[in-house]
Structure 1
Amino acid sequence: MSPASPTRASAATPSPNRIDRLRIRHLRLLDLVARSGSLTAAGEALHISQPAVTKMLQELEYAFGCRLIERTTRGGRLSAAGERALERLRVVLGVIDAAGEALQARPEVPLVRLGMLPLVGVDVLPQAVALLRAQDALPRLAVREHSVGGLTAMLCEGELDCIVGRLQKDDTDQLKARVHITPLRDEYLAVVCAPAHALARRREVALADLHEGPWILPPRGTHTRDVFEQPFLDAGQLPPVPHIESASFHSNLAMTAAGGFLTVAPATALAHYQAMSMVREVRLRTPFASGRLVFITPAQIEAPPAVIRLREALEAVTRQDTGAPPARARRR
């Protein structure tokens, strides 16, 4: 039987038998068209002729029983069905790429592609790594740092196996249809200053007092910046304008210690810096909204054993500290 034309394919239904006959390059064709907007460019990337691209597209649409790519004057773009298919297929392609990467060196040791927020590497991850190594169960780790939004996008496209990050309730509600979320611990956002800063000596600091600055803050659009600015907006105040914008908590805390700034950071991540008397936590009358440290995996695929062991280690080390605000900070 010859592949159906796009017109017939649009009215057909997917067949497991037809899908089983697809090759990996069929799936990559859809991804390449989405990225380049051109069937010709996709064919060049796959090193195949234009007639071969057309045949491959017909086989792909025949297998899924619908039109996946719409022809345009500039080449081609994914249909609505093509976009939905690619959301799933990118996870498959990511898993295939990860399998190749894992077997390139030391195939006897599993590889975990971990995405995390920067300060997770100061507090939580080192403890989990030490625990797994003591159990002789530490996998190879390929660690990527990014914002919550960036990490989530990479996870859903199959570029990561798991994430350790912080979410608010609204974020959790938006993501739970696409991912599995394991709560690790609740945390709150602390305001931090240098020991010599005027606010370090105050017994209680109100929201309006925080305008004294100067501030170092993460860029707009990041999770931490949103959590920081919301209380000011709720109180009818403009949030402080930062003198420095930086996405690196490590740099922010170091500059705060050296230059007399104010900054914000998850409270549980401050122990290392406070132990060396580099910074002090500001005693806020009302603490900033709490967030939740979570472990996230894709909903579409079953987590490999190495990812499960990493999750269990993170659960074990975070169980020791709830990350709740101290009693003085909870006063109204």
Structure 2
Amino acid sequence: MNGQDFNLRHLRAFVLVCRLGGITAAAEAVHMSQPAITQAIAKLEASLDEKLLVRSSRGMYPTAAGEIFMRRSKRALNILKQGCIEAAARQKGTAPSRFDTKISSTQLRALIAVAAYGNFSVAARAIGISQPSLYRTARDLEKVSGLVLYRKSESGYDPTAAARILIRSAKLAFYELDQALDELSSWGGMHGGRIVIGALPLSRSVLLPRAINMMTQAYPDIDLHVIDGPYDDLLNGLRYGEIDLMLGALRDPPPAEDVEQAPLFDDRLGIFCHPAHPLAKRSDIPLEELTEYPWILPRKGTPTRDQAAAFFRTHGLPEPTRVIETSAIILVRSLLESAGRLTMISQTQVSDEIKLGVMVQLPVEIDDTPRTIGVTQRADWHPTQMQEHFLKLLREVSETLD
């Protein structure tokens, strides 16, 4: 089971019973019959295999498990509500601002699938339903919301601006419900759970492996995913609830208003080569000689590439023209073995290579500003206990790297 499987109507009923303290009051507020609410709560308890509510002389109140599930359910519904308001505002005058109580998880799954694949037939196959059923569900969402959600294009169907807002809120709402399942699992004594980490180059070689090894000792059944990729792709995944946190060089200023950055340690750059390189044993290297060799550098637009460009510019040197672009440390290490190549890279990132004797740092001062390595997360992220423990381990490992 995952967050997309929950019936939103059932969640609303449950949250209202918790808030109002009884089924009668909740039935009036949510416009459902008392038997329907009773059945909705029974289905939630059966799907979670947990007792969520208890009855007392003063009404109905959530159990300890119910409190956990109520907090996450309330956050999910509020995220969805705000998304609907923002989507309606994007298409002014065409949609009611409060249609969040009328939409379903099935409709939101259809919207996400069509936007991802741009084609109703392909999207239907991907999520395992018939194309007519998906088309009907997707169009029902347009009717309920009063929004235009799809635009025909040469490649298929593209989501409108309002649809993209709704998609993001839906993904974040489903993410909260996934978090609820993890928290209930931990509360029940399980040592599993899920963390998805967006890993930028400077976190992959030392910080992340050490933290992961420590984490798997504490949570042997953890479901841990590490995703590599360009910064913009990982940031998008973070903001849409597909990634829990990002690790790597922090940006100044922060990349978006809805994310926060927390520093872990400062890192500096160095110029490195293979031990057999002609410059490896030189103690005095004229900077002009550096431009005589081919280089390995990250792609343009990355902080390290910008710093490399600044280094050459500051010293009145032309930028290298024979450049292989990559940030993959294994590839960098292999490429340095031949053709007399040089690279500018994080000192922390290649600390193991230095210890193994397969890379050498040249005695060249870069005069770079220390780069802060840290965690990027959503501003409203509420980590689970397990995720909090992982953040704690990242801080502990970082203290050994200062």
TM-score, normalised via structure 1 length: 0.76
Greater mean alpha carbon deviation, residues 88-97 or residues 211-220: 88-97
**Alignment match of 1:19 (pick from 97, 100, 124):** 100
- Whether 1:180 and 2:260 are equivalent positions in the alignment is yes
1:111 pairs, out of 169, 194, 197, with 194
Q: Quote how far apart the aligned CAs of 1:137 are.
A: 4.4
Q: Name the % identity.
A: 22
How many Å apart are 1:37 and its aligned residue? 3.8
CA distance in 2, matches of 1:10, 1:40: 32
Q: 2:250 aligns with which of 151, 167, 174?
A: 167
Is structure 2 residue 353 aligned with structure 1 residue 277? no
Alpha-carbon offset, residue 262 of structure 1: 0.9
3-state SS of 1:272 partner: helix
Q: Distance in 1 between matches of 2:133 and 2:197?
A: 40
TM-score, normalised relative to structure 2: 0.64
**Quick one: which of 115, 118, 127 aligns to 2:210?**
127
Conserved in 2, the CA contact under 8 Å of 1:148 and 1:165? no
Alignment-derived partner of residue 140 in structure 1: 223
Cα distance change, pair 82–34 in 1 and its aligned pair in 2 (3 A): same
Distance 1:309 1:78, change over 3 A: same
Shift of 1:55: 5.6
User: 1-side partners of 2:142 and 2:92: how far apart?
Assistant: 10
Deviations 1:128-179 (A, max 9, x none): 2344456x3464322222232332222223322122111342xx4223x132
Computing the radius of gyration from Cα coordinates, the structure with the larger value is: 2
- Match in the other structure for 1:33: 114
Most deviating of 197-206 and 160-169: 197-206
Q: For the residues of structure 2 that align with 1:165 and 1:56, how far apart are their CA atoms? A: 38
Q: Which amino acid aligns with 2:150?
A: I
1:309 aligns with 2:309: no
Moved more, 180-189 or 277-286: 277-286
Q: Which moved more, 1:125-134 or 1:184-193?
A: 125-134
Seen in structure 2, the aligned counterparts of structure 1 residues 164 and 204 have a Cα distance that, compared at 3 Å, is farther
Cα distance change of structure 1 residues 81 and 205 upon mapping to structure 2, 3 Å threshold: farther
Deviations 1:48-80 (A, max 9, x none): 4648734643445534x6443346798643322
Match in the other structure for 1:251: 331
Matched, 1:263 2:343: yes
Structure 1 gaps of 5+ residues are: 323-332
- Is the 2:264–2:374 contact (alpha carbons within 8 Å) kept by the matching residues of 1? yes
Whether 2:311 is the aligned partner of 1:228: answer: no
Is the 2:295–2:320 Cα contact (8 Å) retained in structure 1? yes
Q: 1:9 to 1:271 in 2, by over 3 A?
A: closer
Displacement, 1:31? 2.2
CA-CA distance at 1:41 after TM superposition: 5.4
Q: CA separation of 1:210/1:99 partners in 2, compared to 1, >3 Å: closer, same or farther?
A: farther
The residue aligned with 1:150 is 233
The CA distance in 2 between the partners of 1:73 and 1:286, in whole Å, is: 49
Greater relative contact order (Cα < 8 A, sep 6+): 1
Supply the AA of the counterpart residue of 2:352. H
Separation in 2, partners of 1:187, 1:229: 18
CA contact under 8 A between 1:205 and 1:285: conserved in structure 2? no
CA distance in 2, matches of 1:108, 1:286: 46
Q: What is the alpha-carbon distance in structure 2 between the residues aligned to residue 173 and residue 243 of structure 1? A: 29
Match of 1:216 in 2: 296
**Within 2, Cα distance between the matches of 1:247 and 1:183?**
21
Distance change in 2, residues 1:197/1:87 (3 Å): same
